[in-house]
């Protein structure tokens, strides 16, 4: 079974989110082959939870606050996401790190909050274009993983990781499946320092329907995190079918 996680970012408004969710609902997916989760904007989260109730399709938050409750204007906690029915939350997406200035400390605190709330965090890591040019990919990933996971109590808890090279996101220039497979193998070895369990590692960054099956066919790639190709039914359905028929 491979994971397909759809990060709808701020692409869709409330109505568009519900329409796309209902289009997905009208399809059946083989739960043995695909674990599908949708990460809509916060305002659409509880409506999507209702739409997907009693189906295998899960809903997640795109980020969360690190505090559980209180005087944090504009924030949405992991606890609130859990209460409305989310299963997952993305933590440390590069758009949060680089556009909204989230630090490694913030990412760590959010991970702790997500785990404490009973959500499954999807920790996003990835090197920038500059890192890549300077051949610092492993250095950047090691640093992000260490900051996020060192000393974190993962016993009895689930964690997932998404490898999302910043240069590949939304660029139409993905990290190709063979290269992604290699670096996922390296990430999985790194993760052994933090947990004995196998932590699923998803690839994200310009995944389109035509390549989706090639990613999930790789042993080290446990699934994909899809942005742009997941916000239109016409592109998302073929992608899902490609993963399913792998």
> So which residues are the catalytic ones?
93, 164
Closer by beta carbon to ligand PGA, 93 or else 108: 93
Nearest approach, Cβ of residue 177 and ligand PGA (Å): 14
**Which residue is at the shortest CB distance from ligand PGA?**
227
Q: By CB under 6 A, name the binding residues for ligand PGA.
A: 7, 164, 169-170, 204-207, 225-229
Cα separation, 153 vs 174, whole angstroms: 33
Closer by beta carbon to ligand PGA, 187 or else 207: 207
Range list of β-strands (E), the chain: 2-7, 34-39, 58-61, 88-91, 120-125, 160-163, 201-204, 223-226
Question: Closest Cα to residue 118, out of 160, 153, 87, 148?
Answer: 87
Angle (CA) 158-243-176 rounded to 5° is 85
Please check whether residue 121 is in contact with residue 88, taking contact to mean a CB–CB distance below 8 angstroms.
yes
Closer by beta carbon to ligand PGA, 169 or else 240: 169
Nearest approach, Cβ of residue 39 and ligand PGA (Å): 9
Nearest approach, Cβ of residue 185 and ligand PGA (Å): 21
């Amino acid at each position: 079974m491979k994971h397909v996680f759809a990060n709808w970012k701020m692409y869709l408004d409330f109505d568009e989110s519900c329409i796309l969710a209902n289009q997905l609902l009208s399809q059946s997916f083989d739960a043995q082959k695909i674990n599908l989760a949708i990460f809509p904007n916060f305002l659409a989260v509880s409506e999507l939870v209702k739409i997907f109730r009693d189906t295998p399709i899960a809903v997640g938050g795109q980020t969360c606050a690190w505090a559980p409750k209180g005087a944090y204007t504009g924030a949405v906690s992991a606890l609130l996401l859990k209460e409305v029915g989310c299963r997952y939350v993305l933590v440390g997406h590069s758009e949060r790190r680089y556009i909204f200035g989230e630090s490694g400390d913030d990412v760590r605190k959010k991970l702790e909050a997500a785990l404490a709330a009973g959500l499954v965090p999807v920790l996003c890591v990835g090197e920038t274009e500059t890192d890549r040019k300077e051949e610092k990919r492993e250095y950047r990933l090691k640093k992000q993983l260490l900051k996020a996971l060192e000393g974190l109590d993962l016993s009895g808890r689930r964690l997932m990781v998404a490898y999302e090279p910043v240069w590949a996101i939304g660029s139409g220039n993905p990290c190709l499946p063979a290269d992604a497979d290699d670096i996922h193998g390296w990430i999985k070895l790194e993760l052994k320092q933090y947990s004995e369990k196998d932590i699923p590692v998803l690839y994200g960054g310009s995944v389109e329907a035509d390549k989706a099956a090639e990613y999930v066919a790789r042993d080290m790639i446990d699934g994909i995190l899809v942005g742009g190709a997941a916000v239109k039914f016409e592109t998302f359905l073929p992608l899902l079918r490609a993963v399913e028929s792998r």
